[in-house]
Structure 1
């Protein structure tokens, strides 16, 4: 497949995948909002404590074998058998490890209930035995449409099951069991669209190259997860369970759209850029275009959410979550830059240079002490610190990763500028509009008018000031 055909397949996959992902996203958003109304800050605090450490090792469950399978230029049955063996051993080891140390994690947070919750979530490693290879093969074969169907039906079923459990009074257990149900449904779905049944191997001759790549990819996943979960661990240890619940919910809401969009782009990116690992200039152009398209969605969406968050949270989540309004606003400013950093990281990993990703993550970890300064001022201070850390990390990604794609930082930032400027204009306009509307109309009407005004201001600014860049970007979807 030449680069032109690959580009057409990527865009086609993006279109189909985006439609299915949007449908799944609607169910996920509804599910999340209903759950937040049904549950309490303490429930979400317990869930955040449970996932703080075990989530890191969930990423290590296959030791990066999935990414290595996707990235490999040539893949043999022997390598698949070797990969399956590593996957089985690592999943069983991590299940046993977390089941055993659950009391230690509970003691760290001084919350005894975390013990049984961690032991329950540890069962996800048993499910991952049957998840890794089918998932990797679906990505390698670029089965974008089929994979998104699996995601869609899984999101729908998980939403129904989790809400039913929460409504039945299962509290935090509805989140735990819903998470395990999702893992199981995905494993079954991927096995149906890309079955990969092989026997374990005892001979690992010739596996060293794949093992080297998977090892670095695993380290990168763990480092990135550690950066992302550092806030939860710090707040859970230094503040209260309710504070952690507020931070966790604000962050989940702020990350929800970008995580789903990013999941789609990263799935496409890893398999697509891997095909272009010997054509760096072409890969750079696809990264550039992907960033332009992503910025056209991320900046207006998040700055718009920042503007309407007081009405959005009080109306949709109820007044019991009012403490999450300002943290949510700050984290909305953070998410676009975090997402763009992850897109660059996916690209550099796919073209066979995961070491550059490791360097950016290690440098980011050096900035984490900023969080300890911010946390002295409560949850809001922690959120401002998190914004600072993500902006610095974004700068590291620009400096270390773009040269590998033959891209200049000025050109890359230029691709973001039209959407960012239009979104800032929209944000300022909406803040001024709120001053005029507050107390004059009902909150629901105010929310509707602000959303309508935001769409109008962003669109007009794009057409008046950045018409050429807008039409150029939209043309990417036609190829």
Structure 2
């Protein structure tokens, strides 16, 4: 439900904005005034990308901190069965949300020029689609409740249909602002929505609303975000329901729509399959463990992809720069994400006990397995912005179809071994899915297997070694600490400190250039002078 987008009053890009280089790097030097113009264009575009990453990722991190603070308090109040019921409704909402029109409006990002009529047509498309989705969810609610043998979720689904009414007023302004890499104004709207959603969840949970807390909080968040984005974008246009001349928009969006449909199938099929077999308590434990394991891949990588898509789109005529930018982005994201995943796996027990409470300890074995599968998910989802920006959405479509075949089969087999079998299904199915996506996309982006290996190896190798150090430290140095109460918090803190120190040390030894890349990202130091300079740098 969070694949929406944003706008600024100036629609058309200037030459300097469109013709910039890759993600923050300088181009080979030209001569005379042309060189000065190109260099200035490079600097302008680089600055816009860095600003976009800062505001989109920074606001996402702050919003997640606000949301998690409320979520952790709410989790301690509500029961796992509440989250099990909520997960059942989410399979329906996520499945229907792929039709919310984002992919049609999102074609405006990829276009060189955008007219006022196209904006009005995009607005009209998303209004019609979301009105239809709201009606469809209301009418199908009894059938869904009968499928899960949970009559109560029919009431939940009817109320949750209010989210679709707000969605059009998020999608169009967000797409248009994303087109200009204008994420600063979006950030304030997103933060306001996070605060309202968090306060709503906390107040309702304390007031004894139970599972209705999980229904009302997202509605408050979506409506606040819709109002904030409309004000930030100053998008005062009437929708148009005359769709003549919108063939390009509908064609591009339809391909991505089909891709997203198959992505929904593979990502939601576990709950769909398990919902009829597991009781709400067991399903709630699994669903929350999956949420925790996917936090980085689901909450932090998509915002980066939102920045990457328009940035890659401006490099589609410069394939060497785009492929180099892609590899650098992948390298940095895996350098940050892999230690989180492997660290989560080895610290699962004290982390769940400390943060969630003893009644959630059943999540631990799920988290330990699911965390090991998440690097493959992160790797896989990084390809789509580049291939879509290059005008090859069919690559994303083929990959999504493959995932929609592999993952449900894996879940159907895994559930035969109980809830833990679902976690093993992720660990087996995701590597196969990621490998297929890489095989499909590498030629389009201009990648080699050697280049990909060099991009992913530093983060993976150092993270595995770090996890081994933390595991041995916990096993050999902390045997005196019991696994309960406050002692778990001490154990967790010590393991995190050892993990952070050992990861930094391992990178310094195994991949010093990668450590320098992270430092540059944090302090925004000037990047290497050319693609060739980076290519010659060896870890």
The normalised TM-score by structure 2 is 0.86
CA separation in 1, counterparts of 2:293 and 2:371? Answer: 5
CA separation in 2, counterparts of 1:257 and 1:296? Answer: 12
Contact 1:57 1:222 in 2 (8 A): no
2:419 is matched with 379
Does structure 1 residue 463 correspond to structure 2 residue 508?
yes
1:370 is matched with 410
1:129 is matched with 168
2:445 is matched with 405
Gapped regions of structure 1 (runs ≥ 5): none
Deviations 1:194-241 (A, max 9, x none): 122222334323210111011111122221122111111111122222
Deviates more, 1:464-473 or 1:33-42: 464-473
Deviations 1:160-201 (A, max 9, x none): 111111111111111111111111111111111112222233
Contact 2:125 2:241 in 1 (8 A): no
CA separation in 2, counterparts of 1:180 and 1:82? Answer: 26
CA-atom RMSD, angstroms? 1.6
Does structure 1 residue 146 correspond to structure 2 residue 191?
no
1:199 is matched with 238
1:7 is matched with 46
Deviations 1:376-422 (A, max 9, x none): 12121110111211111110111011211111122112111111111
Deviates more, 1:95-104 or 1:442-451: 442-451
Aligned pairs for 1:22-421 within 5 A: 22-62=61-101, 64-368=103-407, 369-421=409-461
Higher helix share: 1
Q: 1:472 to 1:124 in 2, by over 3 A?
A: closer
Contact 2:70 2:198 in 1 (8 A): yes
Q: Choose from 440, 448, 451 the match for 2:496.
A: 451
How far off its partner does 1:288 sit?
1.0
Q: Report SS of the residue matched to 1:384.
A: helix
CA separation in 1, counterparts of 2:285 and 2:406? Answer: 23
Deviates more, 1:432-441 or 1:316-325: 432-441
CA separation in 1, counterparts of 2:518 and 2:69? Answer: 31
Which has more radius of gyration?
2
How far off its partner does 1:437 sit?
4.2
Deviates more, 1:334-343 or 1:448-457: 334-343
Contact 2:259 2:398 in 1 (8 A): no
CA separation in 2, counterparts of 1:112 and 1:339? Answer: 36
**Superposition misfits of 4+ residues, deviation over 6 angstroms:** none
Contact 1:62 1:87 in 2 (8 A): yes
Deviations 1:20-52 (A, max 9, x none): 332222112222222211111110010011111
Contact 2:339 2:463 in 1 (8 A): yes
The normalised TM-score by structure 1 is 0.96
Contact 1:265 1:343 in 2 (8 A): no
Q: 1:306 to 1:192 in 2, by over 3 A?
A: same
CA separation in 1, counterparts of 2:357 and 2:511? Answer: 39
Deviations 1:282-310 (A, max 9, x none): 22122111111101110011111111110
Gapped regions of structure 2 (runs ≥ 5): 1-16, 22-41, 482-486, 527-539
Aligned pairs for 1:423-434 within 5 A: 423-434=463-474
How far off its partner does 1:455 sit?
0.6
Q: Report SS of the residue matched to 1:238.
A: coil
Contact 1:92 1:125 in 2 (8 A): yes
Q: Report SS of the residue matched to 2:235.
A: coil
How far off its partner does 1:439 sit?
4.2
Contact 1:292 1:473 in 2 (8 A): no
Q: Report SS of the residue matched to 2:275.
A: helix
How far off its partner does 1:446 sit?
1.2
